């Protein structure tokens, strides 16, 4: 359960609030405001605040281009134009703030995106709950033999069970030791009055990387899309992709025109290298190009054929 009853009550109170504003309001996002959207077994994403909407992107672009944009009559067309030509600054004019609960090893990937603001729960000050990530059976995948950072199909029965048992046992025992070192039980009571308890900032180091942490994370719309492009990608680790997918839905609620352009010009787009473009031009001229004479490596050839929806015959 991602939130406890106390938190649930706090969220309900926030959701009951209503204020009047002259600022842009996005009803579809207001609907889910403060609501924890579940991810993985104990995680969540919830929108805590936002600023701006599709119209704010358009307005910022019109400031830049001045009277020059009067000809582009529609917002959707202008947003598509901005996206297509990588005019990124108007998208920086909107912000979203999320509260995220996530395993530490996911947090470590996530934090590599530097253009964002973060306040993370501090295990120097406070004690971490006994919550850790255990993959569902269908995500307990084998190491890929072909791709060093990839996964293959899920492990089969006995091996999967053994793995889950080890993950659970390590996490449970480490957390029990954590409490014992802190000399404090789950209710915060002192275990042994004759002991002093290890400093929190040290005791945490015995906890596994699958332990859940949480943070507030704020980012502008341009960098939010950049994050999603990298983390909703099939090459991203499943566990961070699960978060990215929930956030993609939030993007669609928040800025539907921008989301549609993002689908066409980023998520569904492909960049072809100079040699790949040359191959496509030859093929369109009716030439039967083979990998061997394409100038592309086998790997690039396969990637190109996948993009073009053609078989990647390699002799």
Catalytic residue numbers read 231
If one asks whether residue 289 binds its own copies (CB under 8 A), the answer comes out as no
What number of chain residues touch its own copies (CB under 8 A)?
A: 129
If one asks whether residue 8 binds its own copies (CB under 8 A), the answer comes out as no
If one asks whether residue 274 binds its own copies (CB under 8 A), the answer comes out as yes
If one asks whether residue 102 binds its own copies (CB under 8 A), the answer comes out as no
8 Å CB contact between 182 and 188: no
Q: Which of 83, 74, 95 is nearest to 26 (CA)?
A: 95
In the complex, least distance from residue 291 CB atom to its own copies, rounded to whole angstroms? 16
Tokens 């996490």 locate to 171
**Candidate residues 3, 37, 76, 118; the one interacting with its own copies per rule CB under 8 A:** 118
Taking the mean position of all CA atoms in its chain, how far away is CA 286? 42
Phi then psi for residue 206, to 5 deg, are -90, -10
Nearer to its own copies (CB atom), residue 237 or residue 253 = 237
In the complex, least distance from residue 168 CB atom to its own copies, rounded to whole angstroms? 10
If one asks whether residue 14 binds its own copies (CB under 8 A), the answer comes out as yes
Structure tokens that stand for 153 in this block? 């199909």
**Candidate residues 73, 187, 193, 284; the one interacting with its own copies per rule CB under 8 A:** 284
In the complex, least distance from residue 177 CB atom to its own copies, rounded to whole angstroms? 4
Nearer to its own copies (CB atom), residue 246 or residue 276 = 276
User: How far is it, in rounded angstroms, from Cα 75 to Cα 132?
Assistant: 45
In the complex, least distance from residue 249 CB atom to its own copies, rounded to whole angstroms? 19
**Which residues in 49-88 contact its own copies (CB under 8 A)?**
49-52, 56, 59-61, 63-69, 84, 86
If one asks whether residue 95 binds its own copies (CB under 8 A), the answer comes out as yes
Q: Which of 24, 51, 56, 48 is nearest to 97 (CA)?
A: 48
User: How far is it, in rounded angstroms, from Cα 285 to Cα 216?
Assistant: 54
Long-range contacts of 137-140 (CB under 8 A, 24+ apart): 139/238, 139/239, 140/164
Nearer to its own copies (CB atom), residue 166 or residue 292 = 166
If one asks whether residue 275 binds its own copies (CB under 8 A), the answer comes out as yes
**Candidate residues 37, 41, 75, 105; the one interacting with its own copies per rule CB under 8 A:** 105
Q: Which helix (H) or strand (E) holds 49?
A: strand 43-51
**Which residues in 172-211 contact its own copies (CB under 8 A)?**
173-174, 177, 180-182, 195-202, 204-211
Instruction: Please list, in sequence order, all residues whose beta carbon lies within 8 angstroms of the beta carbon of residue 270, skipping any fewer than 6 positions away.
Output: 307
Taking CB under 8 A as the rule, which mask of x and - marks residues 246-265 in contact with its own copies?
-----------------xxx
8 Å CB contact between 50 and 94: yes
User: How far is it, in rounded angstroms, from Cα 131 to Cα 102?
Assistant: 10
Nearer to its own copies (CB atom), residue 1 or residue 172 = 172
Q: Which of 222, 254, 247 is nearest to 25 (CA)?
A: 254
In the complex, least distance from residue 315 CB atom to its own copies, rounded to whole angstroms? 20
If one asks whether residue 155 binds its own copies (CB under 8 A), the answer comes out as yes
Q: What is the largest CA-CA distance in the chain?
A: 85
**Candidate residues 40, 90, 259, 294; the one interacting with its own copies per rule CB under 8 A:** 90
Q: Sign (positive/negative) of CA torsion 52, 57, 63, 69?
A: negative
Nearer to its own copies (CB atom), residue 38 or residue 121 = 121
């Amino acid at each position: 359960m991602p939130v406890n009853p106390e938190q649930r009550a706090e969220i309900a109170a926030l959701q009951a609030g209503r204020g009047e504003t002259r600022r842009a309001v996005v009803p579809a996002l207001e609907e889910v405001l403060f609501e924890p959207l579940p991810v993985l077994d104990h995680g969540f994403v919830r929108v805590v605040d936002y600023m701006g909407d599709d119209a704010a992107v358009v307005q910022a672009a019109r400031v830049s281009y001045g009277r020059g944009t009067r000809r582009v009559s529609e917002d959707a067309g202008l947003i598509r134009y901005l996206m297509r030509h990588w005019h990124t600054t108007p998208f920086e004019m909107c912000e979203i703030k999320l509260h995220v609960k996530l395993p530490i090893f996911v947090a470590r990937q996530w934090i590599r995106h530097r253009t964002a603001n973060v306040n993370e729960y501090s295990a120097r000050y406070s004690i971490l709950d006994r919550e850790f990530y255990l993959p569902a059976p269908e995500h307990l995948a084998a190491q890929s033999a072909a791709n060093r950072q990839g996964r293959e199909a899920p492990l089969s029965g006995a091996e999967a069970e053994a793995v889950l048992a080890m993950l659970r046992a390590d996490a449970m025992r480490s957390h029990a030791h954590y409490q014992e070192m802190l000399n404090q039980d789950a209710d915060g009571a002192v275990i042994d009055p004759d002991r002093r308890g290890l400093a929190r900032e040290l005791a945490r180091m015995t906890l596994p990387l699958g332990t859940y942490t949480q943070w507030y994370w704020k980012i502008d719309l341009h960098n939010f899309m950049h994050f999603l492009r990298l983390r909703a990608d099939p090459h991203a680790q499943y566990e961070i992709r699960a978060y990215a997918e929930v956030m993609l839905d939030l993007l669609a609620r928040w800025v539907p025109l921008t989301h549609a352009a993002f689908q066409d010009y980023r998520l569904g787009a492909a960049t072809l290298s100079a040699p790949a473009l040359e191959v496509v031009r030859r093929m369109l001229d009716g030439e039967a190009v083979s990998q061997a004479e394409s100038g592309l490596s086998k790997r690039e050839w396969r990637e190109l054929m996948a993009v073009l929806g053609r078989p990647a015959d390699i002799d």
